[in-house]
Amino acid sequence: MSSVQKTFPLFGYELIRDYLLPSILGKHENDILYWAGKDLARKFPCTDIPLIISFFKDAGWGDLALEKEMKDGFVFRLTNDPELLKIKERNFRLEAGFIAEQIQNFKGYLTECFEEKKEHQEQVIFTVKMDLKEKIEQ
């Protein structure tokens, strides 16, 4: 049995992500996209970090790599073709919310994720922090 990968024009994705959503969401874009990412994570649960990395690749969000693991968090690096990543024009709150919710779900602690654009290196750094005092009931 062969696996068929469905594709769609990148231009359609960019129209929605880079032009339509900011126009609709306005000044609340960052907050709404973060919560939308968390909601996506609940709909597409990943049970470990390799699955989060795989999801990013499958979703066309880029190449996510785990850079550092700490007692109370993680650091990830997102790269891709610069024209696809569009680091100067795009915010990455959707991806940050997705990562935060996934890790919160399988680690069981209240979790937040912050993104930092590194324009010269053409990458985004996601810093994940877990509050080890705030256990989440599953």
Q: Write down the domain spans for the chain.
A: 10-135
One-letter amino acid identity for 4?
V
pLDDT band per the 50, 70, 90 thresholds, residue 2:
very low
Residue 129 phi, psi (nearest 5): -125, 130
**pLDDT range class, residue 5, cuts 50, 70, 90:** low
Confidence of residue 4 (pLDDT cuts 50, 70, 90): low
138: confidence class by pLDDT, cuts 50, 70, 90: low
pTM above 0.85, yes or no: yes
- For 26-37, the pLDDT digits (tens) are 999 999 999 999
Looking at residues 20-24, what average pLDDT do you find?
A: 92
The fold of the 10-135 domain, in CATH, is Muramoyl-pentapeptide Carboxypeptidase; domain 2 (3.30.1380)
Q: Are 86 and 17 in contact (CB under 8 A)?
A: no
